[in-house]
Amino acid sequence: MDSSTRERRIAEHKKRVNLIFKKCVWDDFLDRALEMSPEDMLEKVKESGLRGRGGAGFPTWLKWKFAREAEADEKYVICNADEGEPGTFKDRAILQEQAGKVLPGMLVCAKVIGAEKGFIYLRGEYAYLLPALSQEVENFNEKIREKGERFSIEIKLGSGAYVCGEETALIESLEGNRGEPRNKPPFPVSEGYLGKPTVVHNVETLVYASIIISEGPECFKSLGTSDSAGAKVFCISGDTDLDEGIYELEMGMTIKEFVELFSDGDIKAVQVGGASGHCVPRKKFADTIIGFEGVPTGGSMVLFNSSRSMYNVLHNYLEFFEEESCGQCTPCRIGCQQLLKGIEAVKSGEKPSEYLDDLVKLAGMMKISAKCGLGQSAANPFISIVEHFREEIMY
Amino acid sequence: MSPEDLISRSAEKHGRERKNLIPILQDIVRENSYLSEEAMVSVARELDISPAEVYGVATFYSFLDTKPLGKNIIRICKTIICYMHGQDEVIRAIEDRLKIKLGETTPDGEFSFLPTNCIGHCHKGPAMLINDRVYSSLTPETAVRAVEEYI
Amino acid sequence: MSEKITLKINNIDVTVSAGATVLDAARKLKIKIPTLCNHPDICVAGNCRVCVVEQKDSGALPAACATPAAEGMEIHTNTRRVREARKAVISLLLSEHNNDCLRCYKNGNCELQELATEYTVEADRYISILKDYGVDKSSPSIQKDDSKCVRCQRCVRTCANLQDVSALWISGKGRKNKISTFMDKTIDYVVCTNCGQCVNRCPTGALTEKNYIEEVWGAIDDPSKHVVVQTAPAVRVALGEVLGCETGSRVTGKMVTVLKRLGFDRVFDTNFTADLTIIEEGHELLRRLSEKLRDGKDVPLPQFTSCSPGWIKYAEHVFPEILDYLSTCKSPQQMFGALAKTYYAEKAGIDPADMVVVSVMPCTAKKFEAARPEMNSSGFRDVDCVITTRELGHMIKQSGIDFNNLEESLCDSLLGAHTGAAVIFGATGGVMEAALRTAYEVVTGRAVPFENLNIIPVRGMNGVREASVKIEGCLSKWKFLEGAELKLAIAHGLVNARKLAKQVAEGRSPYHFIEIMACPGGCLGGGGQPIPTNMDIRMKRMDAIYSEDESLEFRKSHDNPEVIRIYEDFLKEPLGKRSHKLLHTRYTERGRYRTLNR
Ligand SMILES: Cc1cc2nc3c(=O)[nH]c(=O)nc-3n(C[C@H](O)[C@H](O)[C@H](O)COP(=O)(O)O)c2cc1C
Ligand code: SF4
Ligand code: SF4
Ligand code: SF4
Ligand code: SF4
Ligand code: FES
Ligand code: FES
């Protein structure tokens, strides 16, 4: 595709999908939302088909329903802005440009579940967002107090630990502890922050929730596929000639379509969903759908052209995991170190190439027996890269 | 302000409950760039918890260092995407300018130059943080200039 | 009635109460699921992943110890996927491990080794990632070797949940994750009570007692030394466990025989000084009570017991403001040492310089206690060498003696006679009960008003227990106590001790006398006791202790003939000058957050 066609197509996409970054006035929205009953709100979110944008894709309305039904004197809403997945930067962009839509999302969630306190857990690397965001939060708290709401939001800063994006680790961190994920069940919707029912949402999920409440579920539901309703914000990086990086796109595209739009064509692989996502090789571009029915993504799409060494890519990801694993469980703490040491040993000839098969088995075991999503998904890039780029790992 | 005062002021501000440990440690690091033995003992005393617990929590978080660091902290992204865009040369340029290796602190205690994981500016890599500020789309020249702003 | 849940494990129905885990349910069916990080005394961690099982309709393998049983659940514990995952987990652990079993102190009593054997795991399936750690031998009581640690965090949970000390914590993340003291300082620098509860729960050789087996053999082998040994009450109800006897066996007589056979010159009994402790500590309490109630003086009350050195060190660190409330009595071990090198040395005509006092204790903190600089009132170090029940077990095995077929014998005299009151020192509440048996009689001239002398209200395993005794019919000397209600409290495990100590520190303690034992269950659950120790085992040891008490001729410390004799011949009177010098001690503030003046 020549570049002007690509530009035109991208412009079309932008025109068709423009929810998150659309400018709008939120005062009216607040009034409208506050008139609505919690049941109505829940119903709207249910109808929209919205699923979590933080990676796992759990139906948003169900989380709200569970937390709503949980009996407790206190409940909490947490906005997960710990965005640490390599290659992901959409939550930063949303918080920079559209914080005004995140906060009402927290409020509606709070109204539905019956919470009076919300936290934004902002990754330490984004501390520079703090001045503007604090101002925004202060104004918001003030505004809703005037409207007679008891809900208020507080920002908490992370301190550089990727695993704190995992919701129970995040809660541990908020409680002042090491960010070690908890055993689940119990899930945070029944026992979360300080043991109270807690809903944790990705920044983007909250924005869609507020849009769905204010404009009705249709604007969202009409986009995407049946499994993956709506749109999603993508972070595009790597070997792309466009440097804008952030695009809100409809769910359900194939990787082929995607690559055609966002690159000059010489792409041998796409890492979908960051370091913990899957690596899709060129031969699978056409029949891989981006979405819950294909490869899910928290938003990160990294393109690799034919000059890139997939060994380096995998090595870099594994270094990331062996450092960022919380270290409490055996499969992940040691497994990540073994995968890294293992590919080094195969590369240097210390171990025969068949050792890669042992490692793939090990990765498979990590996937099913690690305690949390980090150790389970650290296996994803390993398995997919070794499967599709075995020679590059060996020689 | 003496470290003791800083810590008790911070404990006062956030509250002396266990859940406020991290904000207190963050305050200390903001002032002193790292957590000294004395600082951790003081925090333990303020919250009446074991210093081993303070140390255990601190060492979990990359930004809560327990070893001395320079006044200014450069954290350069070491994740693959920045690396694909020439992070190597940027690192070398900064190493040459500061005459230290990645991971080290200048002898005058002005700068620490540390690797960090993706900081969310991948489409504008190479990227780095100096203290809280982001510098992206770096070249060896712009990176050195950025560092020089702090000299 | 709590809610019942029915699930299937390996196609067999099992019903458990709500709150039970899959592991509990499997255990109910006597299906073994291997575990490592799980320990019944502490909260669930779910981090080792050795206990994974298969759950129908779930792709992942949940950890049995951390998964609540749910209605209709279908679990399989022995599928290919499960076996392979467990095998992989164990292989991974070995890749991080130093695998030096042959030279390891825990060889033969190591859960990791057992798992590796059971699952026929080759140690070199993965590349070794063992890091270079030093062994911390700074404490006289415990030793830490990170190269053998599996990061199960049992020690961390023990020290925090049970002991309220948190000397150990997890540090670092990812590959740097390890068990650390504050800033990885040596154990002697940080606040640690040396209780050894972490050691008792460590599944591997990462935390062990500092062992003094060679020192003891050395003393025995040295013809110029006169080596005497004392054994604490709780040892005799647990030693059998390491020698193939059933849990809860009483092996007192065999133990005495074996000690003689091992070559000790005299075999005495810490129980003797336990009885003595009761006399001294009981009189100290009565003195404090009379000064307060009769003379209206401001004396520190309640009085705390002082026989648990883990508790003493804890108080010295954490509650320096209440040190005056602690009884000044030395622990029975230290009283013994001081008397062995004075009273016994004199009677037996032995130069105390040539005497070696060895004690066999259920406790690792006793090793530290014996090394305290103030514990030299005989003019020498009072107790030279402290070994635990486990170390004695090793020595017996090394000697090749067939323990189970030994005849029984009695301790040597002078420092060997004892009563049932001394035996119960080994169980939580025992010191209290023994003290009451004596003090009540001193004050009223009558035995305590409990059937068969069994003061049931102070017994049991609740963490904190309260009791009160009304004193009636006092002898004339004690008239001021007439009608008084003596309020008593007992705590075991430092997390419980803290509650009572805090009340005293805050001036709101309603009690007169408080017994504290640092270890859960008291000494019978001491850090030096056989591994494993858990609630079941503690209960059995406790039953053994109380039946030993009932089996003895004398059940009240003041009836001990050798105690009567030592007062006549040597000490003259309780709290007298000699007692003061030999049997009482003082305490030192040690710093709440790290050790002072080291
Ligand atoms: C290792 C790990 C890191 C995660 N990081 C993030 C994150 O940075 N942001 C986020 O929203 N969710 C993250 N998640 C997912 C959260 O656990 C959680 O599912 C999510 O916040 C729920 O929000 P949602 O329902 O809006 O998706 C992470 C999960 C794992 C396992
Ligand atoms: S999988 Fe990794 S991050 Fe998750 S609990 Fe286990 S060690 Fe921690
Ligand atoms: S800790 Fe266990 S497995 Fe490790 S060396 Fe010792 S006996 Fe062997
Ligand atoms: S000996 Fe006792 S106090 Fe010391 S670390 Fe172990 S459990 Fe904690
Ligand atoms: S020292 Fe022992 S108890 Fe503690 S984590 Fe290591 S292996 Fe487990
Ligand atoms: S990869 Fe460097 S900022 Fe994301
Ligand atoms: S015993 Fe269940 S995870 Fe360790």
- What's the pLDDT tens digit per position in A145-157? 999 999 999 999 9
Residue B114 host element (H or E): strand B111-116
DSSP-H helix ranges across chain A: 3-16, 26-35, 38-48, 60-69, 90-113, 130-146, 167-174, 203-215, 218-221, 255-262, 310-324, 330-348, 355-369, 373-388, 390-394
Exposed, middle or buried by CB within 10 Å (0-12, 13-18, 19+), for B150?
Answer: middle
Picking from A99, A115, A86, A82, the residue whose alpha carbon sits closest to that of residue A20 is A99
Q: Does the beta-carbon distance from B117 to A245 stay under 8 Å? A: no
DSSP-H helix ranges across A161-254: 167-174, 203-215, 218-221
Q: Does the beta-carbon distance from C592 to B45 stay under 8 Å? A: yes
Distance, first Cα to last Cα, chain C = 55
Q: What is the mean pLDDT of residues A212-227?
A: 93
- Is B142 in the same domain as B81? yes
- Is B83 in the same domain as B136? yes
pLDDT at residue A126 tops 80: yes
- Is B39 in the same domain as B87? no
- Is B76 in the same domain as B98? yes
Check pocket membership of C355 for ligand 5, CB cut-off 6 A.
no
- Is B22 in the same domain as B88? no
Mean pLDDT of chain A: 95
Q: Is residue B65 part of a domain?
A: no
Check pocket membership of C392 for ligand 5, CB cut-off 6 A.
no
Secondary structure (3-state) at C277: helix
Cross-strand pairs, A301: A236, A272
Residue intervals of chain A classified under CATH 3.40.50.11540 are 18-221
Chain C CA closest to residue A325: C174
ipTM score for this prediction: 0.97
CA angle C339, C342, C346 (to 5 degrees): 125
Ligand 2 site-directed mutation target among A182, A366, A369, A374, most atoms within 8 Å of CB: A374
Q: Domain holding B101: CATH number? A: 3.40.30.10
Q: Which ligand is nearest to the CA of A368?
A: 2
**Which CATH superfamily does the domain covering A18-221 fall into?**
NADH-ubiquinone oxidoreductase 51kDa subunit (3.40.50.11540)
Query: Are the beta carbons of C392 and C360 closer than 8 angstroms?
Result: yes
Q: Chain B contacts of A324, Cβ < 8 Å?
A: 117
Whole-number pLDDT of residue C246 = 97
pLDDT at residue A24 tops 90: no
Whole-number pLDDT of residue A2 = 84
Give the total number of structural domains in chain B. Answer: 2
DSSP-H helix ranges across C182-251: 197-201, 213-221, 239-242
Q: Is residue B67 part of a domain?
A: no
User: C50 C-alpha vs ligand 7 centroid, how far in Å?
Assistant: 5
* Identity of the residue in C47, C170, C176 whose CB atom sits nearest the CB atom of A371: C47
Residue A271 host element (H or E): strand A267-272
Distance, first Cα to last Cα, chain B = 24
Q: Domain holding B48: CATH number? A: 1.10.10
Who's near C134: CB < 8 A, 6+ residues apart? none
Whole-number pLDDT of residue C598 = 56
- DSSP letter (8 states) at residue C345: H
Check pocket membership of C168 for ligand 4, CB cut-off 6 A.
yes
Question: pLDDT tens digits, residue range C90-140?
Answer: 999 999 999 999 999 999 999 999 999 999 998 889 999 999 999 999 999
Q: Residue C428 has which token pair?
A: 């939580």
Residue intervals of chain A classified under CATH 3.10.20.600 are 231-305
Give the distance from residue A17's alpha carbon to the nearest chain B alpha carbon, in angstroms: 21
- Is B41 in the same domain as B82? no
Whole-number pLDDT of residue A22 = 87
Whole-number pLDDT of residue B49 = 96
Question: pLDDT tens digits, residue range C367-388?
Answer: 999 999 999 999 999 999 999 9
Domains defined along chain C, listed by start: 4-78 (3.10.20.740), 124-209 (3.30.70.20), 213-271+334-405 (3.40.50.1780), 280-332+421-583 (3.40.950.10)
Tell whether the torsion through CA atoms of C93, C96, C102 and C107 is positive or negative: negative
- Structural domain boundaries enclosing B101: 72-148
Whole-number pLDDT of residue A55 = 83
Which of C241, C523, C557, C579 is labelled catalytic?
Answer: C523
**Considering the domain A310-394, what is its CATH architecture?**
Up-down Bundle (1.20)
- Is B86 in the same domain as B132? yes
The residue type of C163 is Q
Per-residue pLDDT of chain C in tens (598 residues, 90 and over written 9): 579 999 999 999 999 999 999 999 999 999 999 999 999 999 999 999 999 999 999 999 999 999 999 999 999 999 999 999 999 999 999 999 999 999 999 999 999 999 999 999 988 899 999 999 999 999 999 999 999 999 999 999 999 999 999 999 999 999 999 999 999 999 999 999 999 999 999 999 999 999 999 999 999 999 999 999 999 999 999 999 999 999 999 999 999 999 999 999 999 999 999 999 999 999 999 999 999 999 999 999 999 999 999 999 999 999 999 999 999 999 999 999 999 999 999 999 999 999 999 999 999 999 999 999 999 999 999 999 999 999 999 999 999 999 999 999 999 999 999 999 999 999 999 999 999 999 999 999 999 999 999 999 999 999 999 999 999 999 999 999 999 999 999 999 999 999 999 999 999 999 999 999 999 999 999 999 999 999 999 999 999 999 999 999 999 999 999 999 999 999 999 999 999 999 999 999 999 998 886 5
Tell whether the torsion through CA atoms of C290, C296, C299 and C300 is positive or negative: positive
Q: Is residue B11 part of a domain?
A: yes
Kindly indicate the confidence band of residue A56, based on its pLDDT and cuts at 50, 70 and 90. Answer: confident
Answer whether A245 touches B (CB < 8 Å).
Answer: yes
Q: What is the CATH number of domain A231-305?
A: 3.10.20.600
- Is B52 in the same domain as B84? no
Q: Is residue B40 part of a domain?
A: yes
